[in-house]
């Protein structure tokens, strides 16, 4: 599939420049206004990650070290559930939940 753009005239194309793209006049040469600084960041010239973003990236990397599924463990649990022998250690479960909360929220 192709698109023929030859039928588009000059009046049909948006040629207006935004204030960010317009060259600075001689008064503002060398000065950056807050609006320009925001625009530069929006264009990807400056990127600052928050602490939360850095923590999420670290967590993502740690999770990548674990296998997606432990087939042997799944089969053990499935068999125990079918046999009625699966037991939940409430204290161990509570501790794991607290550990997970602490690792996520600090």
Q: Contact, 77 vs 86, CB < 8 A?
A: yes
| pLDDT at residue 63, as a whole number | 84
End-to-end CA distance of the chain: 53
Helices and strands, counts by H and E, the chain: 4, 0
Of 1, 6, 42, the C-alpha closest to 21 is 42
Domain limits, the chain: 51-105
- Quote the tokens at residue 83: 């046999």
pTM: 0.30
Q: What is the mean pLDDT of the chain?
A: 75
The two most distant CA atoms of the chain are separated, in Å, by 83
pLDDT-wise least confident of 14-28, 31-45, 52-66: 14-28
Q: pLDDT band for 26, please (50, 70, 90 cuts).
A: very low
């Amino acid at each position: 599939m192709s698109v023929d753009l030859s039928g588009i005239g000059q009046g049909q194309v948006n040629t207006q420049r935004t204030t960010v793209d317009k060259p600075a006049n001689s008064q503002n040469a060398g000065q950056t206004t807050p609006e320009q600084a925001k625009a530069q960041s929006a264009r990807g010239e400056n990127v600052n990650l928050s602490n939360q973003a850095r923590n999420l990236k670290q967590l993502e990397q740690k999770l990548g070290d674990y296998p997606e599924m432990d087939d042997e463990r799944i089969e053990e649990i499935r068999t125990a559930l079918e046999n009625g022998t699966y037991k939940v250690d409430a204290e161990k479960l509570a501790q794991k939940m607290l550990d997970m909360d602490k690792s996520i929220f600090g």
